[in-house]
């Protein structure tokens, strides 16, 4: 009788351990995937900044526009760090929301919409949309 109860308890403990292990593995993979995607987001932001600097260097974005846009990039990078920190510490799609809001705000800002050179504006918008896609993928991964 005692040994039957013991073996039932042991089976139950083993079952709980198995379920907990699988849940942990899944959670670890999701968080890890999110961290990998987060690095991709930072790389996309850098590519967007490099693109804008290149356009300014060849005179397709004037100094005034360039100043405001670079100030936005600086703020975006700081937001990106906060987003990554949030994902690292607690996870969850809500961590990404400030990043998505910041990029959308930049794309709708007077300094981007007001870029006088049409080609330059479109290039910045395309890069920005690519960044938004990365952010939404990151949110979906969490």
Partner 1 sequence: MPNDNLTQAIEILQLVNTLAPAGVALVKTLATKLQGKTDEELKATGDAIDDAIIAAADMELAKLDGTAAPAGPVAPVTPTE
- Residues of this chain that interact with partner 1 (CB under 8 A) are 14, 17-18, 20-21, 24-25, 28-29, 31-32, 35-36, 38-39, 41-43, 45-46, 49-50, 53, 56, 63, 66-67, 70-71, 73-74, 76-78, 80-81, 84-85, 88
The H or E element containing residue 110 is helix 110-113
Looking at the Cβ atoms of 52 and 123, the one nearer to partner 1 is: 52
Tokens linked to 78: 């700081």
Looking at the Cβ atoms of 56 and 60, the one nearer to partner 1 is: 56
Length of the chain equals 142
Radius of gyration of the chain (CA): 23
Q: Shortest approach of partner 1 to residue 36 CB, angstroms?
A: 6
Looking at the Cβ atoms of 1 and 25, the one nearer to partner 1 is: 25
Q: Shortest approach of partner 1 to residue 40 CB, angstroms?
A: 9
The end-to-end CA distance of the chain, in Å, is 47
Contacts of 46 (CB under 8 A, 6+ apart): none
Distances (CA, A) of 140 to 50, 53, 58, 90: 27, 31, 38, 15
Q: Shortest approach of partner 1 to residue 91 CB, angstroms?
A: 10
Q: Shortest approach of partner 1 to residue 20 CB, angstroms?
A: 7
Answer yes or no: are the C-beta atoms of 132 and 103 closer than 8 Å: yes
Q: Shortest approach of partner 1 to residue 35 CB, angstroms?
A: 4
Looking at the Cβ atoms of 31 and 137, the one nearer to partner 1 is: 31
């Amino acid at each position: 009788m005692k040994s039957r109860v013991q073996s039932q308890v042991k089976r139950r403990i083993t079952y709980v351990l198995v379920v907990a292990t699988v849940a942990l593995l899944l959670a670890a993979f999701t968080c890890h995937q999110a961290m990998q995607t987060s690095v991709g987001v930072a790389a996309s932001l850098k590519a967007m900044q490099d693109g804008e600097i290149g356009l300014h260097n060849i005179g397709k974005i004037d100094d005034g526009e360039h100043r405001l846009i670079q100030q936005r990039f600086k703020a975006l990078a700081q937001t990106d760090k906060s987003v990554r920190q949030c994902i690292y510490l607690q996870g969850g799609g809500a961590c990404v929301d400030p990043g998505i809001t910041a990029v959308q705000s930049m794309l709708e800002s007077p300094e981007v919409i007001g870029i006088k050179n049409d080609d330059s504006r479109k290039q910045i918008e395309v890069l920005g949309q690519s960044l938004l896609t990365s952010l939404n993928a990151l949110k979906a991964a969490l």
